[in-house]
Chains A and B, each alone.
Chain A
Amino acid sequence: MTPNSETSRGENLASCHDCGFVVALEGGAHHAATHCPRCHAVVHRRKPDSLNRTWALVITAAMLYVPANIFPVMRVISMGKAQEDTILSGAIYLLVHGMWPLALIVFFASVVVPLLKLIALTFLLISIQKGSSWRPVERTKLYHVVEAVGRWSMTDIYVVTILVALVSLGNLATIEAGLGAVYFAGVVVMTMLAAESFDPRLIWDRVRESNG
């Protein structure tokens, strides 16, 4: 079933972010707002202040990404000796022990995914600010991917949690969460909020403008 596209541009229509109800907004302002009659959420034509918010969250996440990778996420104290694991050394440990499929998953989830997410969002933000009308369909798909894969970065945080919980008797070995885990948790939260505050419809606003 392909839906028929409307002939009118629907310039004063806006859909409710929470329930999808289509509301007619008065005035042409970009940020004109009203309450949704169906769910009472505030309806905006575009997410308010989307570009600035997303930039702020992306920059914060990028700054947290550095210490998240430098500081150990986990400290194993066993018989008086302490061994520290960073995110990367955790993946290498799996690789050395012949668990390369798992090593690849951990490497992708913790190192590649947050980095790609930051690069992709930066690219989308810049392309919108430059008023680009280049490949809007692909850029929208890129946004959907960014939105969907981000959660997998939590894997390492869960590994630390489970190890801390299991090896907590204290007489033989202790496992502690390191400072890296705190920064890494920050990266995950900031990138998720950044994806949420980004409004993909901005990609299409420029396309519409450039088509006249």
Chain B
Amino acid sequence: MLDLNFKALGSAELSIPAGWLTLCHACDLPSRVGNVPVGGTARCPRCGSVLYKRVGDSLDRTLAFALAGLFLFIAANAFPFLALKMQGNVTHTTLSTGVRSLYEQGSPIVASLVLLTTILAPLLQISSLIFVLGPLRLGLRIPGQARVFRVLRSVQAWSMMEVFIMGVLVSLVKLLDMAQIVPGLALWSFVLLIPVLAAASSSLDAEWVWRRIGLEE
């Protein structure tokens, strides 16, 4: 039963028919998108913005990256990401320690922004991908998929893992004179999470997904 569904979803009849109408999100020019080859990009003829990108095996690849991302995200939050050795004292830090210390010091605004951009937004990004694509992969449609997929779009801009790693790098350099820093397991999970998340969002074919989960019949 399920196996048949797998095949049906991968088949060509369910790919986007050539010649569909789209408006450029940057300049509003209407265009018809032709047969975009796998790996190809259709650009707006007037302003050059990307109209559509075709990725091979989009559903499988995005889902695989999202699942790997979830695993890495859990590891990144469960284990200490840095340890600091200073005159015999060792401090272990997890990601949430920073947020908590900022909050306790009386900087709730900064603490919330860090919580949003390094924990909540990435978690929402990963879990909403799995929530939407997982059932699709099994040939199922469940209520709420469209709503969750809409959330994904607004959440992405606030997920800033790659910037966070830059912050880690700068902090390490600043602490070099002062103390010995031991990178923890979570730090490596973080470093891996960045390309995995980037791959998940670049292999996602949103137009294809919308055609599957859209509310119109």
Contact = CB atoms under 8 A, between A and B. Distances in A.
Contacts of B1: none
A67 B55 CA distance: 46
Interface string B72-83: 000000000010
Given A38-B214, A196-B157, A204-B47, A161 B167 contact: yes
B4 interface: no
Given A3-B31, A167-B91, A172-B89, A177 B110 contact: yes
Given A22-B21, A109-B166, A162 B150 contact: no
Query: SS class of chain B's interface: helix, strand, loop or mixed?
Result: mixed
Contacts of B215: 37-40
A196 to B, nearest CB: 7
Interface string B12-50: 000000000111011111111111110011111111110
A3 B109 contact: no
B105 A158 contact: no
B28 A39 contact: no
Interface in A185-211: 185-186, 188-189, 192, 196, 200-201, 203-205
A203 B99 CA distance: 40
Category for how many chain B residues contact A: 35 or more
A177 B102 CA distance: 7
Interface residues of A, number: 73
Given A1-B37, A166-B93, A21 B101 contact: no
Interface stretch (B63-71, B168-176, B194-202): B168-176
Contacts, number: 230
A6 interface: yes
Nearest to A160: B110
B28 A3 contact: no
A163 B27 CA distance: 44
A5 B21 contact: no
A171 B91 CA distance: 12
A15 interface: yes
A176 B106 CA distance: 9
B174 A159 contact: yes
Interface in B124-157: 146-147, 149-150, 153, 157
B3 interface: no
A81 B24 CA distance: 58
Contact of A20 (B175, B177, B210): B210
26 contacts: A2-B45, A3-B44, A6-B30, A10-B30, A14-B23, A15-B25, A22-B22, A22-B23, A39-B150, A94-B174, A105-B166, A140-B47, A141-B47, A155-B166, A157-B167, A160-B102, A161-B102, A162-B82, A162-B168, A164-B102, A165-B97, A172-B86, A177-B102, A181-B110, A192-B157, A204-B29
